[in-house]
Amino acid sequence: MIQRACFGRLRILCPQAVYSLKGDTLLFFFRFLPELREICIKIFMNFIFGGYKSNVIVSKGIPSIDSITNKFDNALIIADENTAGIASKICGGNYIPHCVIKSGEENKTWRSVETILSSAVTNKLGRDCIFIAAGGGVICDISAFAASVYMRGCNLALVPTTLLAMVDASVGGKTGFDFCGIKNLAGTFYPAENIYIPVDCLSSLPQREWKSGFAEIIKTAILANDFFDQLDGISSFDYKSDALLSCIEKAVAYKGKIVTEDPRESGGRRILLNLGHTFAHALESVLGLGNISHGEAVAWGIIRACRLGVKLGITGESRAKKITGLIKKFGYESEYNCDKAALIGFMKNDKKKRDGKLAFIVPDEKSAAAVTLEKENDLKILEEILV
């Protein structure tokens, strides 16, 4: 059996275990009996985000409560109405207090954060407790924010249950909630110490949620530029697919590397992770938060970013065509009937703006580049591509 696996110094008491080291990623391939495969660790990654150590553990099943709380006496499990059943499957978790909030982007609000904080107070949890969030991007974001402010910061573990949360929301330490109709207007940087990715949770994921998460994988593949062509070989969303697991690993590893270099998005390459997001957040706000998934909006935003890049002479037409073709291949909508003035209005309130200038990320030949728009002619270009 496996006693312990840790990055740097590996200790596995199993002669049948085979592993390989690739960057900061350990890949484990175990030839176990079927029942042992249920608990085996497939991928383990270790990052340092601005002084915070953050571990990512990819496994087949949901982690046990003992593995999450082995250093903590008190805990709070946080889920929404859709993931409460998954949270209850955390072995032994029944004796841990649960906080269940309403599901959906429309509930990514201060009121939900307040519900979490009130539950922690009601259960008399101290600063040495741990918040355990089991859910998608909304749950990960608001639970992490609540942890960052509860008694000025308590411990945090994330169990992302959607593809979007696994490859994006849970990794890197961004927390937040929507405010004044603007997505993620309020937030902090607060990385989780441990992120447990149970791939079996993807087995029940609706098609729309698959597409939402896969858009972030496409985005990361454009930036990393080393597994983009691999995506073209994926014909369906199959959680058992080795190709998909490889893409999840590469997306997490790339984001972890970028965030390690620039943990607070303060002038380094982390801003590139916002490819398509200035457009996407505006679309989400115009259509009404929750009426379109984040990934669907990101896919649309990446297409607009390609068009902007072509107009500015940064994105080659062949590169833009290849990216757009891949997005359309997976069935994303490329057109939405929206008021251009409203879209631009929300972009002007986007938190990525600098000195009043609209900020965008557009693809270049090897990755992506940051650009700003401020002149009247620039805004005319923006109107042209928002067709």
The backbone region for 331, taken as left when phi is positive above 0, alpha when psi lies in -120 to 50, beta otherwise, is left
From the candidates 270, 304, 307, 319, give the one annotated as an active-site residue.
Answer: 270
Active site residue 98: no
Q: What is the DSSP string of 169-193?
A: ITSS-B--EEETTEEEEE--B---S
Active site residue 255: yes
- d(C-alpha 304, C-alpha 366), whole Å: 18
Active site residue 294: yes
Active site residue 4: no
From the candidates 294, 304, 319, 352, give the one annotated as an active-site residue.
Answer: 294
Active site residue 270: yes
Active site residue 333: no
Active site residue 274: yes
From the candidates 216, 249, 284, 296, give the one annotated as an active-site residue.
Answer: 216
Longest dimension (CA), the chain: 67
Q: How many CA atoms lie within 13 A of 166 on its CB side?
A: 31
CA 239, 106, 280, 256 dihedral sign is negative
Active site residue 81: no
Which CA distances in Å does 192 have to 32, 167, 171?
30, 14, 8
Paired tokens of 145: 């924010």
From the candidates 183, 255, 304, 319, give the one annotated as an active-site residue.
Answer: 255
Active site residue 296: no
Q: What is the DSSP string of 108-145?
A: -SHHHHHHHHHHHHHTT--TT-EEEEEESHHHHHHHHH
Active site residue 152: yes
From the candidates 70, 152, 335, 337, give the one annotated as an active-site residue.
Answer: 152
CA 282, 288, 291, 293 dihedral sign is positive
- Work out the end-to-end distance of the chain between its first and last CA atoms, rounded to an integer number of angstroms: 58
From the candidates 183, 274, 296, 319, give the one annotated as an active-site residue.
Answer: 274
From the candidates 108, 174, 250, 304, give the one annotated as an active-site residue.
Answer: 174
From the candidates 277, 307, 319, 352, give the one annotated as an active-site residue.
Answer: 277
From the candidates 105, 265, 284, 296, give the one annotated as an active-site residue.
Answer: 265
Catalytic residues: 152, 174, 216, 255, 265, 270, 274, 277, 281, 294
